[in-house]
Amino acid sequence: MLAFVVHQIVGTWGIAFLAAVGLTSLFDLIPDSASWKPSMRFVHWLLTENPFYPVQIMAGLYLGWRIGRHFQHKSMLWIWVLPLLVLCYALVVGLILIPEWTSVLARRSTVGTQLSHYFGWGCQPRARCLDQLLITMPFYASAAYSLGALLARNALKKAGQVLAVQ
């Protein structure tokens, strides 16, 4: 149980922290005199304002692979379930409960607007909407972490089979 909790924390918020520190450190290594050095605004856009979270997904795959090679915990393969449950709960609450609490002048939420809100450009942190950052990004990071651990597990099994044949 402790291994699951540790992997859950590392595979969700640890990846977010690693991606932020790693990408800002990488951009700090580029000299200021370089004419092609992008601004830190681009770094913030990649980390928080892009609804697809490519940096967190790549960090999740890498960290899942690296940790999965050393620790063969089965719990690593299942840490995406809890963030998925939170995401499903948020989608259902947004479709069913929230419209009852809002003003009669507010537009009714549909499946398309909810999907855009959590998976598309419908929710942006600069508009003070943090739902994607707090709900969708941990799901993406944990799914990538689990996938990286699964790939590492399969690679180690295949390497063991090749060594057994030789």
SS3 80: coil
pTM of the model: 0.84
Instruction: Flag whether pLDDT at 80 surpasses 70.
Output: yes
SS3 163: helix
More confident residue, 23 or 125: 23
Tell which residue, 61, 41, 64, has the closest CA to residue 125: 41
pLDDT tens-digit readout, 32-68: 766 777 788 888 888 998 889 999 999 999 999 999 9
pLDDT tens-digit readout, 135-162: 999 999 999 999 999 999 998 888 776 5
Name residue, tokens 């419209």.
99
Query: Which tokens sit at 115?
Result: 């999907």
Find the distance separating the first CA and the last CA of the chain, reported in whole Å.
Answer: 38
Residue type, 38: P
Domain ranges of the chain: 2-165
